[in-house]
Amino acid sequence: MKRLFLAATLVALGVTAFFALYVTPPRENQGFDAVRLLYLHVPCAWLAYLAFGVTAIASILWLIPRTRATTWDLLAGASAEVGVVFTGLMLVVGSLWGRPTWGTWWEWDARLTTTAILFFLYLGYLALRRTGATAEERGKRCAIAALIAFADVPIVHFSVSWWQTLHQSGTVFNQNLDVKVNGSMAFTLILAVLSFTMLYVYLVMERFQLAQLEEGQEERELRLAIEERVRAEQAVPA
């Protein structure tokens, strides 16, 4: 089942790459191919929001006593890890696009600054996850840290957006829902978002399964150590 999903994801990504590289036009008024980076940049941005949103929801579910389960903690971690990778990719691709288009690798505008901070906040979150503690301890610390990280971003976003911003406003999800791209470009963008979402689901599934195995392994080792200790105590003559 998972293999089938992986195959479908790869096919979808392949089709997206074909459309992005061969079917869509280069930008007329700019006349170069850098615009094709958009089909990588936009889905990465979407995945960052999706992944950190999933982390926040999973963290809340862990914090509510009635729904508390290790599953949520592991899911939060898996999703955040994938989210950090795609946030990093989004920053790199955006920078590569910005150089020929804006004439600069980096600009301290609202969107870029917020994203960079988001990246560091979740790097910290991942570091916190790796500090070895019992599942219960880790769960509480990480869930709270994830929610603080999630709350900090809007503050930064609104404070810096009082400046002029260089990054364009939402192309698809803007205030009037007036889609500013059309034809094969719009189609390719939607395709890219869908195929990247499939990739996200696949990666999180893999990462989640691995985390569960790690968790099981730790428990098994602990149990074996206790059994050994008990045997050793019994072997000592009274």
Partner 1 sequence: MSLLRDALLVAGKDLRIERRSRVALQQILPFGAIVVVLFAFALDSDRTVLGRAAPGLFWATVLLAALLAVGRAFAVEEANRARDGLRLSGIDGGSLFLGKAAAIAIELLLLEFVLGVAVVVLYDVALHDALILVLAAVAATIGLAGTGTVYGVLAGGLRARETLVPLLVLPAVTPVMLGGTRAFEAALDNSPGDAWPWVQLLGAFAVLVVAAGFVVFGPLLEEA
| Segment interacting with partner 1, rule: CB under 8 A, options 84-92, 142-150, 210-218, 226-234 | 142-150
Is residue 65 at the binding interface for partner 1, with CB under 8 A as the rule? no
Residues 6+ apart with CB under 8 A from 61: 67, 68, 69, 72
Long-range contacts of 36-41 (CB under 8 A, 24+ apart): 37/93, 37/94, 37/96, 37/97, 38/97, 38/189, 39/188, 39/189, 39/192, 40/89, 40/93, 40/192, 41/90, 41/93, 41/94, 41/97
- Nearest distance from C-beta of residue 170 to partner 1, angstroms: 23
Cβ proximity to partner 1, 16 vs 87, nearer residue: 87
Cβ proximity to partner 1, 117 vs 194, nearer residue: 117
Cβ proximity to partner 1, 89 vs 156, nearer residue: 156
Four-point Cα dihedral 48, 51, 53, 55, nearest 10: -140
Nearest to 94 by CA among 154, 48, 54, 28: 48
| Segment interacting with partner 1, rule: CB under 8 A, options 48-56, 114-122, 181-189, 195-203 | 114-122
From 127, 135, 210, 224, residue interacting with partner 1 (rule: CB under 8 A): 127
- Nearest distance from C-beta of residue 184 to partner 1, angstroms: 39
Is residue 121 at the binding interface for partner 1, with CB under 8 A as the rule? yes
| Residue carrying structure tokens 């955040």 | 80
Question: How far apart (Å, rounded) are the C-alpha atoms in residues 73 and 143?
Answer: 7
Is residue 137 at the binding interface for partner 1, with CB under 8 A as the rule? yes
Note the residues at the interface with partner 1 (CB under 8 A): 117, 120-121, 123-124, 127-128, 131-133, 136-137, 140-141, 144-145, 148-149, 151-152, 155-156, 159-160, 162
